[in-house]
Amino acid sequence: MIFTETGLAGAFIVDIERREDERGFFARSWCGEEFGARGLNPRVVQCSVSFNARKGTLRGMHYQAKPYEEAKLVRCTMGSLCDVIVDLRPDSRTFARHLTAVLTAENRRMLYVPEGFAHGFITLEDATEVFYQISEAYAPEAQRGFRWNDPAFGIVWPAEVRVISDRDRSYPDFRG
């Protein structure tokens, strides 16, 4: 696997290393030892899939409050999306900064999202599916979020929002 540091402390783009032959290719998409060697949380206790029927579906911005903070490894397995993360760790040198990454079924790119980050995405195609590996079990009482277009972060979404849940639409602005 190829780990590329992003501009946000602890967040990485993870690309597979393809071993190709006449059959196609083989690549490792997960190795706890490689994640741990870089100081990334290698724990996986839950995996989830999000299927999104329509282009312009926005999910976010979500995070889990302490002590249920999650690290996530996010990959698009069908279609394409623009993934967005925001560093919400007050003691971080990249606090309140965000990063966008285009994840597609073709590029097989993954985004490692550390604990203490909010996460969201918008689909760029119909029939987009997202696969998550998550370090903590979901705790409904720790579920938090902020408005997807909160001016404090200045996130520029690359597609028109066509589908969004009432919950995501009604989140308040972030109050650190």
The boundaries of the domain holding residue 95 are 43-170
117, part of any domain? yes
Residue 56 pLDDT: 98
Nearest to 94 by CA among 103, 102, 85: 85
Confirm whether 36 is domain-assigned: no
Task: Convert the pLDDT of each residue in 9-47 to its tens digit.
Answer: 999 999 999 999 999 999 999 999 999 999 999 999 999
Residue 124 lies in a domain: yes
For the annotated catalytic residues, the residue numbers are: 62, 132
- Assess if residue 89 is contained within a domain: yes
In a domain, 136, yes or no: yes
Where are the extended beta strands (E) located within 53-97?
Answer: 57-64, 72-78, 80-87
| Residue range 1-7: mean pLDDT, rounded | 97
> Looking at residue 53, which CATH number applies to its domain?
2.60.120.10
Task: Identify the residue whose tokens are 């997960």.
Answer: 30
Predicted local confidence at residue 101, as pLDDT = 98
Predicted confidence (pLDDT) at residue 175 exceeds the cutoff of 90: no
The per-residue pLDDT for range 58-83, each reduced to its tens digit, is 999 999 999 999 999 999 999 999 99
Flag whether 95 is in a domain. yes
Q: How much is the pLDDT for 171?
A: 97
Predicted structure pTM score? 0.96
Q: How many domains does the chain contain in total?
A: 1
